[in-house]
Amino acid sequence: IPVECFDLVIFGGTGDLARRKILPGLFRRFLAGQMPENARVIGAARSEMEDADYRQMVREAVAEFGGTEKENGSQLDAFLERLHYVAIDATGDGGWDKLAGLMRDGVIRAFYFSVGPSLFGALAERLHQHGIADAASRIVVEKPFGHDLASAQELNATLAAHFDEHQIYRIDHYLGKETVQNLMAVRFGNVLFEPLWNSHYIDHIQITVAETVGVGGRGSYYDKSGAMRDMVQNHLMQLLCLIAMEPPSIYDADTVRDEKLKVIRALQPVEPHQIVRGQYDASSEGPSYREDAENPRSFTESFVAMKCHIANWRWAKVPFYLRTGKRMKARSSEIAVVFKDLGHTIFEGDTARHRNILSIRLQPNEGMDLQVTIKEPGPGGMRLVDVPLDMTFADALGADQEAPDAYERLIMDVIRGNQTLFMRGDEVEAAWAWTDPIIKGWEARNDVPKLYEVGSAGPDDALMLMHRDGRRWREIK
């Protein structure tokens, strides 16, 4: 279904994110017929270039990162026709009049701030000074949204000086994943799950986001950030919120976000013994974090594992185990809802510990399955086996179209004016209010991260975090 006509300006339109995600994503939406006839994309960045040069740059980016087999030359040409370029320095005065001249009346105006957060204030101010943004315009901002509570508050105040909250779209691309939305459909669209979704039936919940990449070229940025700020404060907490929130009364942006906010506010402080920081060390599979980050004395964590609790009626005494790390044995992100053991088995000789586990996989293969116990087929008597029940149903639904990737979906949501899958300012602040004391505690104690080998499942202490509770992490594969 095509969205309404729009002018989308990408500040930082020549940057890595624009070339890898935003522009190839827009091309895929174009191929899917979702971009209306007269919609336009305007790249804006510091370098001087003509429309033709910009189109050539995007052509190359689509060839490299397009990720679709359907593209063909003539469609790419038609897409590139929609692209324009304006040289603008966010902190200067050049280029703004040209941009103002390009913008059309009567179409949606969206501005993607794909630049560092230090430029958000300058961009917001100039958009207003030059009369380019109006009350119906939208701005999209990227992570990182601050590096602590104070800086996030400052950033929110800067944006609020020029835009209302309903105009601000804070991206967390994890929320744009198909499976994350399917999780809400499964939870709130079936009678089967919600009655079990509490401390009576759920033993614990695990969230793992394991990456195989290291800090690569981002070393100097990452070294000041670390896994807690880069992954936990945003992505893992967003997933935690969707799993743990109360059913919203309607599926609407503010109602959903109100419920997520309540989860963050109910998170208890994490004690030092409930959290493990790690840093990857050289192995036969690659160099150490310190070499990658070019900081031989770095104490920055590239891994975090923690146990947390949500202090409310539904989740009393149910632990949530979170872990994320770089340079781990496999690229794998999963939420696992592990239900309680049967109290009693009626099947003689069956000593296995059968458990229902709902597994929500975010990557590499998005999908959802429910582990159930059934009789092993055949004449062997009453022998039980655990099998996964596929809840993605791609075949049943005839999902011949490739699911749009997270960025594509989220950009289209911006044009539609749907903020459900974007973080609200108060959510981000609440998340920082919870993470700040953890990080400040490490700093005050000069905490030294535990080493783990490149290609492993993280430090041994992280395994112990669950073992001492008589539980174990799901395998990373």
Q: Which residue ranges make up the site for ligand NAD (CB under 6 A)? A: 11-18, 45-47, 88-91, 114-117, 119, 142-144
How far apart are CB 17 and ligand NAD at their closest, in Å?
Answer: 3
Compute, in degrees rounded to 10, the torsion defined by CA atoms 41, 47, 52, 57: -80
Element (H, E) at 74: helix 73-80
Query: Which residues are 305's β-sheet partners?
Result: 276, 323
Cβ–Cβ < 8 Å for 304, 277: yes
CA angle centred on 431, ends 165 and 274, rounded to 5°: 170
Provide Rg for the chain, Cα atoms: 24
Token pair 């490490």 in the structure block, residue? 442
Reported in sequence order, the residue ranges of 89-147 that DSSP labels E, i.e. its strands, are 108-113, 138-141
In the complex, what is the shortest distance from the CB of residue 68 to ligand NAD, in angstroms, rounded to a whole number? 19
CA 76, CA 69: separation in Å to the nearest integer? Answer: 12
Strand partners, 226: none
* C-beta of residue 132 within 8 angstroms of C-beta of residue 33: no
CA 402, CA 68: separation in Å to the nearest integer? 9
Q: Min. distance of Cβ 107 from ligand NAD in angstroms?
A: 23
Which of 84, 162, 173, 235 is catalytic? The answer is: 235
| Among the listed residues 272, 215, 238, the one whose alpha carbon sits nearest the alpha carbon of residue 439 | 272
Q: Looking at beta carbons only, is 80 or 171 nearer to ligand NAD?
A: 171
CA 464 to chain centre: 27
Spatial CA neighbour of 147 closest among 475, 428, 426, 354: 428
Residue 114 or 182: the one with the smaller Cβ distance to ligand NAD is: 114
For residue 112, the one-letter residue type is Y
Task: Provide, rounded to whole angstroms, the least separation between the CB of residue 163 and ligand NAD.
Answer: 17
> Which of 15/247 has CB closer to ligand NAD?
15
CB of 215 to ligand NAD, least distance (A): 13
Strand partners, 112: 10, 140
Task: Report in angstroms how near the CB of residue 293 gets to ligand NAD at its nearest.
Answer: 17
Calpha distance 115→18 (Å, rounded): 10
- CA 438 remoteness from chain centre: 21
For this structure, is 235 an active site residue? Answer: yes
* Least Å from the CB of residue 11 to ligand NAD: 6
Query: Which residues form the catalytic set?
Result: 235
